[in-house]
Amino acid sequence: MLSRMMKSEPLELSPRRSAGVSFAASLSYNGIRHHFGSKQVLNGIDLVAEPGGILCLLGPSGSGKTTLLRIAAGIERQTDGRLYLNEQEIAGPDVFLPPEQRGVGLMFQDYALFPHMTLAENVAFGLTGLSSRAQKEAAGTALERVGLSARASQYPHMLSGGEQQRVALARALAPRPSVLLMDEPFSGLDSRLKDTVRSDTLQILRETRATAIVVTHDAEEAMRMADRIALLRDGRLVQVGTAGDLYRRPADLFAAGFFSELNVVEGEARGGRVITPLGPVAETNRPDGTDLTVAVRLTGLRLNEAQDGIIGRIVTRRFLGGVDLFTVVVEGIDEPLRSRMRAGTISPEMRDVVVSVDPQDVIVFEKAGNDR
């Protein structure tokens, strides 16, 4: 519905100098708050999408990702705060630039292609600021960029899901937007197709050099695509950074859990070490007696066929192809722990194993404020 609203409006196009390449802008959210009725869904968002970069908005359902995108598009007007395109305020208490004047492109998960129009007509639709010859040329360039120029006269129903996605991308790119907004752009594709379409899209975004803001709820997808990831929870930014920042130095247990499956155990600082029922698992400079929450990635919980150490009893074992997934009960820990080990490392008849922890897969948080 969103994309149809956009398409019904003429797009105002600034003069373009280089075929198929956008002039990237920065888009800045400044103290953005938003309410739907009495419900607050965005709570003080400060965030910048850098020129030419790919920013992924990541978070669970209902965290406010789509609302942030709709505010950037001008389809929703924020309750409070200001939005800037480069230095220009485009939405704020006294300013509101309508969607068609913002130079943003939109691509939504249902693609919203018109079934009765050819691919070329679909892509040209909305380029109303241009002569019909220039429209055709722009549509042709955009279709060529996504590798579909040979099929320009075909109709959407003649295309696979992945090809339809590429047409939708071509349509969003045809006006050469300075910022491209994409809401779950791969969610309609099956998992095998998704990888190819995603990497093709990434390459096209790099070539066009548009600033892109991509909404996803899939951490791996964000890691594959983003230059920077903004992790949201309940309308607040939890953390912004590169995939490496968020994976290695998550701000809290919620952020850590979004990027890895975790075992969570209690710990305490003692003599410069983090002491847990699994033994000392990391170093710390926190004062003795500090209560800690210790997260151990599943790949970092090692099971060994050794004699000495902390004993765990295997309660389930699942073969997952390259790895075996175990659940293990360890004395002093209420919940069974989970471990991912290379398939075949532990012989099938083993029941009791020695459990150890790889310090690289340990993340330690102070207990206060660690609510999941």
- Could you list the residues that contact ligand ATP (CB under 6 A)? 36, 41, 59, 61-67, 217
**Residue 240 contacts residue 47 (beta carbons within 8 Å):** yes
Identify which of residues 65 and 194 has a Cβ nearer to ligand ATP in the complex.
65
Nearest distance, CB of residue 180 and ligand ATP, angstroms? 17
Nearest distance, CB of residue 169 and ligand ATP, angstroms? 20
Whole-number Å distance between alpha carbons of 345 and 179 = 49
DSSP states along 255-266: HHHHHS-EEEEE
Pairing between strand 104-107 and 80-85? unpaired
Identify which of residues 42 and 262 has a Cβ nearer to ligand ATP in the complex.
42
Nearest distance, CB of residue 72 and ligand ATP, angstroms? 12
Whole-number Å distance between alpha carbons of 151 and 141 = 13
Whole-number Å distance between alpha carbons of 91 and 70 = 12
Of the candidates 247, 289, 240, 293, the residue with the CA atom closest to the CA atom of residue 266: 293
Nearest distance, CB of residue 61 and ligand ATP, angstroms? 3
Nearest distance, CB of residue 22 and ligand ATP, angstroms? 25
Whole-number Å distance between alpha carbons of 99 and 16 = 19
**Residue 215 contacts residue 186 (beta carbons within 8 Å):** no
Lookup result for tokens 């993340």: 363
Identify which of residues 66 and 164 has a Cβ nearer to ligand ATP in the complex.
66
Identify which of residues 215 and 264 has a Cβ nearer to ligand ATP in the complex.
215
- Written as six digits, the tokens of 230 are 């903004």
270 class by beta-carbon count within 10 Å (0-12 exposed, 13-18 middle, 19+ buried): middle
Nearest distance, CB of residue 336 and ligand ATP, angstroms? 30
Nearest distance, CB of residue 341 and ligand ATP, angstroms? 33
DSSP state of 10: P
Identify which of residues 76 and 252 has a Cβ nearer to ligand ATP in the complex.
76
Identify which of residues 58 and 253 has a Cβ nearer to ligand ATP in the complex.
58
Identify which of residues 66 and 122 has a Cβ nearer to ligand ATP in the complex.
66
Residues paired with 133 in a beta bridge: none
